[in-house]
Chains A and B, each alone.
Chain A
Amino acid sequence: MKEVLRFENVSMHYHSKQGETVALQDVSFSVNEGEFVAIIGPSGCGKTTLLSLAAGLLSPTKGKVYTNGGSFGYMLQKDELFPWRTIEKNIFLPLEIKRADTPEHRARALALAEKYGLSQFLKNYPSSLSGGMRQRAALIRTLSVDPDVLLLDEPFSALDYQTRLSVCDDVYKIIREEQKTALLITHDISEAISVADRIFVLSKRPASIIAEHAVAFPETEPLKRRENKEFSRWFELLWKELNV
């Protein structure tokens, strides 16, 4: 299997007048093509730093991040749709940024929007959509430039519990169907178990990887996984690891 992202002994230090903070300490892991990898860790342990490093927005203090030339799409906690743009224009935003705003690319983005049930909202402004629909629009926006790897920074945490379960299911299916590689960062253990092929557990700050698990379920859909008996066993295991 082809590796699309690899962290090799990555450390990250932040400097401020108050002193130096070590956010990440000697983190190594890799993500293979087509995999759904989740990284869980306690709040404030440097999860977002990790994604920023993966996306190339930061460079590590020590160590190396290999990306194999792939392109990344970032999905944040909130949908961050621009309220002054229609859904359609929001979806075209990455195309404009990458100067790839061609009719073919637009058509591809619109086809995605249509496939995933956004066509009736294209001319609407984000404020008229529900939270779930907005997050779906945000995913289509991320996918519009056809990135190789999706970086998901707790993309469901701003939603209420009900919506969250269904949006998680939704996003998972879309990512699988589009055969994307995904790296999800979250503090929500059950969310990680319900979507991931592999899970890495991060310690408290300075964060380093304390465990790696290959999660195998006969079911693939997040909601179905949650009904499996194995689910609670995984939950307990990860819960203990997070709280050592």
Chain B
Amino acid sequence: MKNEVNYSREHLLYLSGVKKKTVWVNVIRVAVLVLLLSLWELSAQCNWINPFITSSPSRILKAIAELYENGTLFYHVGTTLWETLVGFFIAVGLGYGIALLLWWSEAFRRISEPYFVVLNALPKIALGPLVIIWCGTGSGAIVFMTVLIGIIVAILNMLNGFMATDENKLLLMKSMGATKLQILTKLVIPSSLPNFISMLKINVGMAWIGSIMGEYIVSKAGIGYLIVYGGQVFKLDLVMSAVFILCILAALMYAAVALLEKSVIKNR
């Protein structure tokens, strides 16, 4: 807010010191990446390692270019991205709703607690064959898997946030004569916003696990499909390329949530 403050020389030095440090961290981060990639490339070029098994940055780029040229790159990326996003939003939305119901009714909460504990501990991948039979072999099965993996975490995280509402603020609302619905909309939901954001962050990861795992089990397209297919036919360049694309997509989605966080939680 106050841009026109005249800082002392010491403070300016301190500020430039802080800035320098940040710059250095960034420079070294990039340098590490460049170093690792060039070492990888060099080792492959000089045949210190077998590029057929380990692939190499140049081969990865070539594989991605090939995918692009035969027109399937965006098809696969789009398929997985669609499944992930749909699964993500269903898991988050449904999870939020169920957590609200659990907050609302103590009876429901107490009765369902052991079920959620077990469902949370259960490795959802074990339900793979059932998912195929119930939802077929299309995108539906993969979205279902994504939802399955994300929803329990979403419910438990949100419920935690709702239940952590400050006791004194609850007392204050009650003393004003607030109804349960008013307490929910004016206190519980806004005060659990940080939990909502952290739940979104966790669920970004969950959604990618869900969609890729779903594609491992059953798929005709997508990044997970490319990884499995590449592994089966020993095209490790393809596997590496798919993983590389996955890294970028996951980072972008996380960045989107982080951006949302910045815009929502600025006043706390």
Chain A, residue nearest B173 (CB): A97
Chain A contacts for B171, CB-based, 8 A: 52, 57, 74, 76
Is A84 an interface residue, CB under 8 A from the partner? Answer: yes
Is B193 an interface residue, CB under 8 A from the partner? Answer: yes
User: Provided the pairs A125-B267, A127-B267 are in contact, do residues A84 and B176 lie with their beta carbons within 8 angstroms?
Assistant: no
- Assess the A97–B169 pair: CB atoms within 8 A: no
Q: How far in angstroms is the closest Cβ of chain A from B51?
A: 55
- Assess the B168–A74 pair: CB atoms within 8 A: no
A:52-66 near B, CB below 8 Å: 52, 55, 57
- Assess the A80–B186 pair: CB atoms within 8 A: no
B:61-83 near A, CB below 8 Å: none
Q: How far in angstroms is the closest Cβ of chain A from B245?
A: 38
Q: How far in angstroms is the closest Cβ of chain A from B165?
A: 11
Q: How far in angstroms is the closest Cβ of chain A from B21?
A: 28
User: Provided the pairs A57-B174, A96-B186, A127-B267 are in contact, do residues A84 and B168 lie with their beta carbons within 8 angstroms?
Assistant: no
Is B178 an interface residue, CB under 8 A from the partner? Answer: yes
- Assess the A84–B186 pair: CB atoms within 8 A: no
User: Provided the pairs A77-B168, A97-B182, A97-B186 are in contact, do residues A84 and B267 lie with their beta carbons within 8 angstroms?
Assistant: yes
Is A115 an interface residue, CB under 8 A from the partner? Answer: no
**Secondary structure of the B side of the interface?**
helix
Is A94 an interface residue, CB under 8 A from the partner? Answer: yes
Q: How far is the CA of A52 from the CA of B166 in the complex (A)?
A: 17
Most buried by B among A80, A96, A97: A97
A:111-157 near B, CB below 8 Å: 125, 127, 145, 151
User: Provided the pairs A80-B168, A83-B268 are in contact, do residues A97 and B176 lie with their beta carbons within 8 angstroms?
Assistant: yes
Q: How far in angstroms is the closest Cβ of chain B from A154?
A: 12
Is A72 an interface residue, CB under 8 A from the partner? Answer: yes
Interface residues, chain A, with chain B CB atoms under 8 Å away: 52, 55, 57, 72-74, 76-78, 80, 82-84, 93-94, 96-98, 125, 127, 145, 151
**20 sampled A-B residue pairs with Cβ under 8 A:** A57-B175, A72-B175, A73-B175, A76-B171, A77-B168, A78-B168, A80-B166, A80-B169, A82-B169, A82-B187, A82-B191, A83-B267, A84-B191, A84-B193, A97-B177, A97-B178, A98-B176, A125-B267, A127-B268, A151-B175
Interface residues, chain B, with chain A CB atoms under 8 Å away: 166, 168-169, 171-178, 182, 186-187, 190-191, 193, 267-268
